[in-house]
Amino acid sequence: MNIALVAHDAKKKQMINFAVAYRDILAGHTLFATGATGELVEEHTGLNVHKFRPGPLGGDQQIGSMIAQDEMDMVVFLRDPLTAQPHEPDITALLRICDVHNIPLATNMASAEVLIKGLSRGDLAWREVINPMLGQNDGQCSEC
């Protein structure tokens, strides 16, 4: 499965902890992330992460583009609800496109843990029907 990891600055430490805790599960999937989040996840886990631009510079939209093309299967976006974000319209668009395309989305640690545990049980296998690329190349992005 193709999994996007995004974290606002105040949540990056939580994302690192999440990625370290669930490294073995994440290792079986193709990971994508916005700039600094991807670098931190790679640094602390040793996992390979395809890094997009930082969120405010278009990274959220790059992930949204993959969602619109049914090339993203799950999004973990640890948001900071207490800090105004200068690119709030991009964030809202990413959340909306997840809803439009029925992409499992976690926006806090509690929902992220539910999704990752469901992923490990096979609860998200229905995405293989939606994302035909999964069966053809073992979840690897054709552009990566």
CA 29, CA 55: separation in Å to the nearest integer? 22
82: helix, coil or strand? coil
Strand order in the sheet with 105-106: 49-51, 30-33, 2-7, 74-78, 105-106
Q: Which helix (H) or strand (E) holds 115?
A: helix 109-121
| Backbone phi, psi, residue 7, to 5° | -150, 130
CA 87, CA 60: separation in Å to the nearest integer? 9
Which is catalytic among the residues 60, 70, 73, 80? 60
60 is catalytic: yes
CA 117, CA 63: separation in Å to the nearest integer? 22
Question: Which residues are known to be catalytic?
Answer: 60
